[in-house]
Structure 1
Amino acid sequence: MRLSRSLKLPLLLASPFWLVACSQADAPAAPAEAAPAPMSAAAGPTDTPDDPVTAPSPNGSSAPSVPADADQAAPAESGPNAPADTAAAAAGDARGRIERVLGDADQYETVFKALQQGIAGDDRAAVAALMRYPLRVDTGGSKREVPDAATFQRDYERIVTAPVARAISAQSFDTVFANQQGVMIGNGQAWLNGTCLDKACSRTEVKVVALQE
Protein backbone atom coordinates (compact mmCIF):
# COMPACT_ATOMS: atom_id res chain seq x y z
CA MET A 1 0.00 0.00 0.00
CA ARG A 2 1.29 3.40 -0.86
CA LEU A 3 0.95 6.22 1.60
CA SER A 4 0.07 9.61 0.50
CA ARG A 5 2.62 12.29 0.86
CA SER A 6 0.48 13.97 3.52
CA LEU A 7 0.82 10.90 5.80
CA LYS A 8 4.53 10.20 5.23
CA LEU A 9 5.74 13.35 6.94
CA PRO A 10 3.91 12.79 10.26
CA LEU A 11 5.02 9.17 10.35
CA LEU A 12 8.64 10.07 9.77
CA LEU A 13 8.53 12.62 12.57
CA ALA A 14 6.85 10.25 15.03
CA SER A 15 9.12 7.24 14.48
CA PRO A 16 12.05 8.50 16.65
CA PHE A 17 9.69 8.98 19.58
CA TRP A 18 8.39 5.44 19.19
CA LEU A 19 11.93 4.08 19.28
CA VAL A 20 12.77 6.03 22.40
CA ALA A 21 9.57 4.91 24.12
CA CYS A 22 10.21 1.28 23.24
CA SER A 23 13.82 1.38 24.42
CA GLN A 24 12.79 2.95 27.75
CA ALA A 25 10.06 0.37 28.30
CA ASP A 26 12.37 -2.54 27.56
CA ALA A 27 15.41 -1.33 29.61
CA PRO A 28 15.58 -2.52 33.24
CA ALA A 29 14.93 0.13 35.82
CA ALA A 30 18.06 1.50 37.46
CA PRO A 31 18.21 0.87 41.23
CA ALA A 32 17.15 3.83 43.26
CA GLU A 33 19.93 5.51 45.17
CA ALA A 34 19.73 5.23 48.96
CA ALA A 35 18.16 8.27 50.46
CA PRO A 36 20.62 10.38 52.47
CA ALA A 37 20.35 10.27 56.25
CA PRO A 38 18.46 13.14 57.82
CA MET A 39 20.64 16.14 58.40
CA SER A 40 21.96 16.38 61.95
CA ALA A 41 22.70 19.59 63.71
CA ALA A 42 25.88 21.27 62.67
CA ALA A 43 28.94 20.09 64.57
CA GLY A 44 29.98 22.46 67.27
CA PRO A 45 30.86 22.83 70.94
CA THR A 46 27.44 21.60 72.01
CA ASP A 47 27.79 18.21 70.32
CA THR A 48 27.99 15.21 72.65
CA PRO A 49 31.45 13.63 72.37
CA ASP A 50 32.09 9.91 72.29
CA ASP A 51 33.17 9.94 75.95
CA PRO A 52 30.35 11.33 78.06
CA VAL A 53 31.24 14.19 80.37
CA THR A 54 29.26 14.98 83.47
CA ALA A 55 27.35 18.17 82.97
CA PRO A 56 27.98 20.96 85.44
CA SER A 57 25.51 21.29 88.24
CA PRO A 58 22.70 23.82 87.97
CA ASN A 59 24.43 26.15 90.39
CA GLY A 60 27.14 26.73 87.83
CA SER A 61 29.93 24.79 89.47
CA SER A 62 32.40 23.42 86.96
CA ALA A 63 34.09 21.03 89.34
CA PRO A 64 34.17 17.38 88.25
CA SER A 65 31.72 15.03 89.86
CA VAL A 66 32.79 13.15 92.98
CA PRO A 67 33.50 9.41 92.46
CA ALA A 68 30.80 7.11 93.74
CA ASP A 69 33.08 5.52 96.29
CA ALA A 70 34.18 8.83 97.74
CA ASP A 71 31.34 8.73 100.24
CA GLN A 72 32.78 5.56 101.74
CA ALA A 73 35.16 7.55 103.76
CA ALA A 74 33.83 7.20 107.31
CA PRO A 75 33.02 10.44 109.21
CA ALA A 76 34.84 11.20 112.47
CA GLU A 77 33.52 9.05 115.27
CA SER A 78 31.51 10.91 117.85
CA GLY A 79 29.82 10.22 121.13
CA PRO A 80 30.56 10.34 124.85
CA ASN A 81 32.95 7.37 124.69
CA ALA A 82 34.68 8.17 121.40
CA PRO A 83 38.06 9.87 120.89
CA ALA A 84 36.31 12.60 118.93
CA ASP A 85 35.05 13.83 122.28
CA THR A 86 38.42 15.54 122.57
CA ALA A 87 36.87 18.24 120.37
CA ALA A 88 34.86 19.33 123.39
CA ALA A 89 37.98 19.11 125.54
CA ALA A 90 39.87 21.26 123.05
CA ALA A 91 37.26 23.93 123.63
CA GLY A 92 38.22 23.95 127.34
CA ASP A 93 35.74 21.38 128.65
CA ALA A 94 38.26 18.66 129.65
CA ARG A 95 38.23 19.64 133.32
CA GLY A 96 34.45 19.87 133.36
CA ARG A 97 34.10 16.43 131.83
CA ILE A 98 36.56 14.92 134.31
CA GLU A 99 34.60 16.46 137.17
CA ARG A 100 31.32 15.08 135.84
CA VAL A 101 32.57 11.58 135.03
CA LEU A 102 35.48 10.88 137.37
CA GLY A 103 35.60 13.48 140.10
CA ASP A 104 38.52 15.59 141.28
CA ALA A 105 40.03 17.15 138.14
CA ASP A 106 42.77 18.88 140.15
CA GLN A 107 44.18 15.56 141.29
CA TYR A 108 44.22 14.23 137.71
CA GLU A 109 46.01 17.35 136.57
CA THR A 110 48.60 17.04 139.34
CA VAL A 111 49.45 13.45 138.37
CA PHE A 112 49.42 14.36 134.67
CA LYS A 113 51.96 17.16 135.15
CA ALA A 114 54.13 15.05 137.45
CA LEU A 115 54.21 12.33 134.79
CA GLN A 116 55.27 14.79 132.11
CA GLN A 117 57.97 16.29 134.34
CA GLY A 118 59.31 12.90 135.38
CA ILE A 119 59.59 11.69 131.77
CA ALA A 120 61.12 14.97 130.59
CA GLY A 121 63.76 14.78 133.36
CA ASP A 122 64.29 11.02 132.99
CA ASP A 123 63.44 10.67 136.70
CA ARG A 124 62.63 6.98 136.66
CA ALA A 125 61.93 6.71 140.37
CA ALA A 126 59.43 9.59 140.20
CA VAL A 127 57.70 8.06 137.17
CA ALA A 128 57.60 4.64 138.83
CA ALA A 129 55.91 6.18 141.89
CA LEU A 130 53.03 7.38 139.68
CA MET A 131 52.10 3.85 138.53
CA ARG A 132 49.46 1.57 140.04
CA TYR A 133 50.73 -1.98 140.35
CA PRO A 134 50.32 -4.44 138.87
CA LEU A 135 50.66 -2.10 135.88
CA ARG A 136 49.23 -3.16 132.52
CA VAL A 137 51.85 -2.69 129.80
CA ASP A 138 51.59 -3.32 126.06
CA THR A 139 54.85 -2.16 124.47
CA GLY A 140 57.45 -3.68 122.18
CA GLY A 141 54.88 -6.09 120.77
CA SER A 142 54.23 -7.86 124.09
CA LYS A 143 51.62 -7.55 126.83
CA ARG A 144 52.41 -8.07 130.48
CA GLU A 145 51.83 -6.87 134.00
CA VAL A 146 54.61 -5.09 135.84
CA PRO A 147 54.34 -6.16 139.50
CA ASP A 148 56.16 -3.36 141.33
CA ALA A 149 58.19 -0.15 141.13
CA ALA A 150 61.51 -1.97 141.22
CA THR A 151 60.64 -3.99 138.12
CA PHE A 152 59.34 -0.86 136.44
CA GLN A 153 62.63 0.99 136.95
CA ARG A 154 64.66 -2.00 135.83
CA ASP A 155 62.63 -2.32 132.58
CA TYR A 156 61.98 1.40 132.20
CA GLU A 157 63.27 1.73 128.62
CA ARG A 158 61.14 -1.18 127.45
CA ILE A 159 58.05 0.22 129.17
CA VAL A 160 58.33 3.97 128.58
CA THR A 161 59.26 3.63 124.92
CA ALA A 162 59.83 6.57 122.57
CA PRO A 163 56.24 6.55 121.21
CA VAL A 164 54.84 6.50 124.76
CA ALA A 165 57.15 9.29 125.94
CA ARG A 166 56.36 11.45 122.89
CA ALA A 167 52.59 11.07 123.34
CA ILE A 168 52.76 12.01 127.01
CA SER A 169 55.08 14.97 126.41
CA ALA A 170 52.97 16.35 123.54
CA GLN A 171 49.63 16.18 125.37
CA SER A 172 47.96 19.20 126.94
CA PHE A 173 45.77 18.60 129.95
CA ASP A 174 43.13 20.89 128.47
CA THR A 175 42.67 18.47 125.57
CA VAL A 176 42.74 15.07 127.31
CA PHE A 177 39.92 12.63 126.66
CA ALA A 178 37.97 11.32 129.64
CA ASN A 179 35.34 8.63 130.10
CA GLN A 180 34.33 6.13 132.77
CA GLN A 181 37.60 4.22 132.24
CA GLY A 182 39.72 7.22 133.13
CA VAL A 183 41.73 9.98 131.46
CA MET A 184 43.42 9.05 128.21
CA ILE A 185 46.71 10.58 127.08
CA GLY A 186 47.56 10.64 123.38
CA ASN A 187 45.75 7.89 121.50
CA GLY A 188 45.75 5.61 124.52
CA GLN A 189 49.49 5.53 125.23
CA ALA A 190 48.69 6.21 128.88
CA TRP A 191 45.60 5.99 131.07
CA LEU A 192 45.06 7.61 134.47
CA ASN A 193 42.37 6.52 136.91
CA GLY A 194 41.51 6.86 140.56
CA THR A 195 40.72 4.39 143.33
CA CYS A 196 38.76 4.99 146.50
CA LEU A 197 40.74 5.11 149.74
CA ASP A 198 37.69 4.65 151.98
CA LYS A 199 34.28 3.03 151.83
CA ALA A 200 32.51 6.32 151.18
CA CYS A 201 35.04 7.10 148.42
CA SER A 202 35.51 10.52 149.96
CA ARG A 203 39.24 10.25 149.25
CA THR A 204 40.71 8.97 146.05
CA GLU A 205 44.17 8.32 144.67
CA VAL A 206 44.93 8.87 140.96
CA LYS A 207 47.64 6.78 139.32
CA VAL A 208 48.72 5.61 135.87
CA VAL A 209 46.93 2.30 135.29
CA ALA A 210 48.17 1.39 131.78
CA LEU A 211 50.93 2.17 129.31
CA GLN A 212 50.80 1.02 125.70
CA GLU A 213 52.12 1.86 122.25
Structure 2
Amino acid sequence: MRLSRSILPPLLLACPLWLAACSNPADAPPVTDQAAPPPMAATGTPPAGDTEAAVPDQPTAPAMPDTAGASGAGADETRARIERLLGDAGQYERVFTQLQQGVASGDHAAVSKLMRYPLRVDVAGGKREVADAAAFQREYDSIVTAPVARAIAAQSFATVFVNQQGVMIGNGQVWLNGECLDQACSQTDVKVTTLQE
Protein backbone atom coordinates (compact mmCIF):
# COMPACT_ATOMS: atom_id res chain seq x y z
CA MET A 1 0.00 0.00 0.00
CA ARG A 2 1.30 3.36 -0.94
CA LEU A 3 0.44 6.52 1.03
CA SER A 4 0.23 9.91 -0.51
CA ARG A 5 2.81 12.43 0.66
CA SER A 6 0.05 14.74 1.93
CA ILE A 7 -1.31 12.19 4.43
CA LEU A 8 2.05 10.94 5.72
CA PRO A 9 2.94 13.90 8.07
CA PRO A 10 -0.42 13.86 9.91
CA LEU A 11 -0.14 10.10 10.39
CA LEU A 12 3.37 10.42 11.81
CA LEU A 13 2.19 13.05 14.28
CA ALA A 14 -0.84 10.99 15.31
CA CYS A 15 1.09 7.78 16.03
CA PRO A 16 2.42 8.87 19.45
CA LEU A 17 -1.07 9.94 20.47
CA TRP A 18 -2.52 6.58 19.44
CA LEU A 19 0.19 4.78 21.35
CA ALA A 20 -0.49 6.82 24.47
CA ALA A 21 -4.22 6.20 24.21
CA CYS A 22 -3.71 2.48 23.81
CA SER A 23 -1.08 2.09 26.51
CA ASN A 24 -1.81 0.03 29.61
CA PRO A 25 -2.63 2.24 32.66
CA ALA A 26 -0.92 -0.36 34.86
CA ASP A 27 2.38 0.72 33.31
CA ALA A 28 1.87 4.25 34.60
CA PRO A 29 3.59 5.23 37.84
CA PRO A 30 1.35 4.72 40.88
CA VAL A 31 -0.52 7.69 42.26
CA THR A 32 0.21 8.14 45.96
CA ASP A 33 -1.68 10.06 48.60
CA GLN A 34 -0.31 13.42 49.55
CA ALA A 35 1.61 13.56 52.77
CA ALA A 36 -0.39 14.59 55.80
CA PRO A 37 0.21 18.10 57.12
CA PRO A 38 2.59 18.40 60.05
CA PRO A 39 1.23 17.49 63.49
CA MET A 40 0.28 19.88 66.26
CA ALA A 41 2.59 20.53 69.16
CA ALA A 42 2.22 22.75 72.18
CA THR A 43 5.63 24.27 71.47
CA GLY A 44 4.87 24.98 67.83
CA THR A 45 7.39 22.34 66.73
CA PRO A 46 5.62 19.54 64.93
CA PRO A 47 6.34 16.07 66.36
CA ALA A 48 6.17 13.04 64.10
CA GLY A 49 2.78 11.40 64.04
CA ASP A 50 -0.73 11.31 62.66
CA THR A 51 -2.15 14.81 63.12
CA GLU A 52 -3.68 17.69 61.23
CA ALA A 53 -1.98 21.06 61.82
CA ALA A 54 0.74 22.87 63.74
CA VAL A 55 -0.26 25.49 66.28
CA PRO A 56 1.98 27.83 68.23
CA ASP A 57 -0.12 28.65 71.32
CA GLN A 58 -3.76 27.66 71.61
CA PRO A 59 -4.92 24.56 69.71
CA THR A 60 -7.12 25.34 66.74
CA ALA A 61 -8.21 23.52 63.61
CA PRO A 62 -10.45 23.96 60.60
CA ALA A 63 -14.19 23.84 61.08
CA MET A 64 -15.59 20.34 60.98
CA PRO A 65 -19.20 20.13 59.77
CA ASP A 66 -21.57 18.20 61.98
CA THR A 67 -22.78 15.69 59.40
CA ALA A 68 -23.12 12.46 61.37
CA GLY A 69 -24.90 11.33 64.48
CA ALA A 70 -23.15 10.25 67.66
CA SER A 71 -23.46 6.59 66.68
CA GLY A 72 -22.62 4.70 63.52
CA ALA A 73 -19.58 4.62 61.26
CA GLY A 74 -18.53 8.22 62.01
CA ALA A 75 -18.38 7.60 65.75
CA ASP A 76 -16.56 4.30 65.21
CA GLU A 77 -13.93 6.09 63.11
CA THR A 78 -13.60 8.76 65.79
CA ARG A 79 -13.16 6.15 68.51
CA ALA A 80 -10.53 4.31 66.45
CA ARG A 81 -8.58 7.54 65.85
CA ILE A 82 -8.71 8.44 69.55
CA GLU A 83 -7.54 4.95 70.50
CA ARG A 84 -4.64 5.23 68.05
CA LEU A 85 -3.52 8.72 69.08
CA LEU A 86 -4.68 9.29 72.66
CA GLY A 87 -5.74 6.09 74.39
CA ASP A 88 -9.08 5.10 75.89
CA ALA A 89 -11.79 6.50 73.60
CA GLY A 90 -14.47 5.60 76.14
CA GLN A 91 -13.14 8.20 78.58
CA TYR A 92 -13.19 10.91 75.90
CA GLU A 93 -16.73 10.02 74.89
CA ARG A 94 -17.92 10.05 78.54
CA VAL A 95 -16.40 13.48 79.21
CA PHE A 96 -17.80 14.78 75.90
CA THR A 97 -21.31 13.54 76.76
CA GLN A 98 -21.16 14.81 80.37
CA LEU A 99 -19.97 18.22 79.14
CA GLN A 100 -22.84 18.49 76.66
CA GLN A 101 -25.39 17.44 79.26
CA GLY A 102 -23.96 19.70 81.97
CA VAL A 103 -23.84 22.79 79.75
CA ALA A 104 -27.34 22.10 78.36
CA SER A 105 -28.81 21.82 81.86
CA GLY A 106 -26.77 24.72 83.28
CA ASP A 107 -25.23 22.45 85.94
CA HIS A 108 -22.21 24.57 86.89
CA ALA A 109 -20.96 22.09 89.51
CA ALA A 110 -21.04 19.12 87.12
CA VAL A 111 -19.27 21.09 84.37
CA SER A 112 -16.62 22.35 86.81
CA LYS A 113 -15.69 18.73 87.67
CA LEU A 114 -14.83 18.10 84.00
CA MET A 115 -12.09 20.76 83.91
CA ARG A 116 -8.34 20.31 84.50
CA TYR A 117 -7.02 23.10 86.70
CA PRO A 118 -5.46 25.47 86.20
CA LEU A 119 -7.78 25.76 83.20
CA ARG A 120 -6.66 27.82 80.20
CA VAL A 121 -9.41 30.25 79.20
CA ASP A 122 -9.47 32.75 76.32
CA VAL A 123 -12.82 34.55 76.27
CA ALA A 124 -13.93 38.13 75.79
CA GLY A 125 -10.53 38.95 74.30
CA GLY A 126 -8.56 37.97 77.40
CA LYS A 127 -6.40 34.95 78.18
CA ARG A 128 -6.19 33.73 81.74
CA GLU A 129 -6.04 30.66 83.93
CA VAL A 130 -8.83 29.60 86.24
CA ALA A 131 -7.27 28.18 89.41
CA ASP A 132 -9.89 25.74 90.66
CA ALA A 133 -13.49 24.49 90.54
CA ALA A 134 -14.72 27.16 92.96
CA ALA A 135 -13.35 29.96 90.75
CA PHE A 136 -14.78 28.25 87.66
CA GLN A 137 -18.26 28.12 89.19
CA ARG A 138 -18.07 31.78 90.29
CA GLU A 139 -17.00 32.86 86.79
CA TYR A 140 -19.06 30.28 84.87
CA ASP A 141 -21.10 32.76 82.81
CA SER A 142 -18.01 34.66 81.69
CA ILE A 143 -16.16 31.42 80.80
CA VAL A 144 -18.88 29.29 79.19
CA THR A 145 -20.07 32.10 76.95
CA ALA A 146 -22.84 31.77 74.36
CA PRO A 147 -20.38 30.92 71.51
CA VAL A 148 -18.71 28.25 73.66
CA ALA A 149 -22.07 26.78 74.74
CA ARG A 150 -23.34 26.77 71.12
CA ALA A 151 -20.19 24.96 69.92
CA ILE A 152 -20.61 22.31 72.63
CA ALA A 153 -24.32 21.83 71.86
CA ALA A 154 -23.83 21.63 68.08
CA GLN A 155 -20.99 19.09 68.08
CA SER A 156 -21.52 15.36 67.69
CA PHE A 157 -18.94 12.90 68.96
CA ALA A 158 -18.73 11.38 65.47
CA THR A 159 -17.34 14.62 64.02
CA VAL A 160 -14.90 15.84 66.67
CA PHE A 161 -11.42 16.77 65.46
CA VAL A 162 -8.72 14.49 66.90
CA ASN A 163 -4.94 14.85 66.95
CA GLN A 164 -2.08 14.28 69.39
CA GLN A 165 -3.08 17.38 71.37
CA GLY A 166 -6.49 15.96 72.15
CA VAL A 167 -10.11 16.12 71.04
CA MET A 168 -11.47 19.43 69.78
CA ILE A 169 -15.07 20.60 69.99
CA GLY A 170 -16.31 23.25 67.56
CA ASN A 171 -13.63 25.38 65.95
CA GLY A 172 -11.35 25.10 68.96
CA GLN A 173 -13.75 26.39 71.61
CA VAL A 174 -13.08 23.31 73.75
CA TRP A 175 -10.14 20.90 73.96
CA LEU A 176 -10.19 17.61 75.90
CA ASN A 177 -7.04 15.71 76.75
CA GLY A 178 -5.86 12.95 79.06
CA GLU A 179 -3.24 13.14 81.79
CA CYS A 180 -1.16 10.07 82.59
CA LEU A 181 -1.83 8.61 86.02
CA ASP A 182 1.11 6.18 86.00
CA GLN A 183 4.66 5.94 84.62
CA ALA A 184 3.64 3.80 81.63
CA CYS A 185 0.62 6.05 80.91
CA SER A 186 -1.57 2.95 80.89
CA GLN A 187 -4.22 4.92 82.81
CA THR A 188 -5.29 8.45 81.99
CA ASP A 189 -7.67 11.04 83.38
CA VAL A 190 -9.51 12.90 80.59
CA LYS A 191 -10.59 16.48 81.27
CA VAL A 192 -11.27 19.77 79.47
CA THR A 193 -7.94 21.58 79.17
CA THR A 194 -8.90 24.70 77.21
CA LEU A 195 -12.02 26.86 76.74
CA GLN A 196 -11.91 29.72 74.25
CA GLU A 197 -14.18 31.76 71.98
Shorter-chain TM-score bucket reads 0.5 to 0.7
* Residues 1-213 of structure 1: pairs in structure 2 closer than 5 A: 79=37, 80-82=51-53, 83=61, 92=74, 93-213=77-197
SS class of match (2:91): helix
**Residue type matched to 2:191 in 1?**
K
SS at match of 2:172: coil
Contact 2:63 2:171 in 1 (8 A): no
Structure 1: segments with no counterpart, 5+ residues:
1-77
Deviations 1:139-161 (A, max 9, x none): 01110000000000000000000
Question: Alpha-carbon deviation of 1:126?
Answer: 0.3
Larger Rg: 1
Greater relative contact order (Cα < 8 A, sep 6+): 2
| Aligned residues between the structures | 135
Specify the code of the residue in structure 2 equivalent to 1:170: A
The ranges of structure 1 where at least 4 consecutive aligned residues each deviate by more than 3 angstroms after the TM superposition are 82-87
Which residue identity is paired with 2:86?
L
What TM-score do the two structures reach when normalised by structure 2?
0.65
CA distance in 2: counterparts of 1:143 and 1:132, whole angstroms: 16
* Shift in Å, 1:85: 9.5
| Distance in 2 (alpha carbons) for counterparts of 1:100 and 1:197 | 18
Q: Give the superposed CA RMSD.
A: 1.9
Q: 1:96 offset after TM fit, Å?
A: 1.2
**What SS does structure 1 have at the residue aligned with 2:149?**
helix
Unaligned runs of 5+ in 2: 1-35, 38-50, 54-60
Amino acid across the alignment from 1:109:
E
More helix per residue: 1
Distance in structure 2 (CA, Å) of the matches to 1:117 and 1:85? 22
SS at match of 2:99: helix
**Cα separation, 1, equivalents of 2:84 and 2:187:** 16
Taking structure 1 as reference, are residues 148 and 184 closer, same or farther at Cα in structure 2, changes over 3 Å only? same
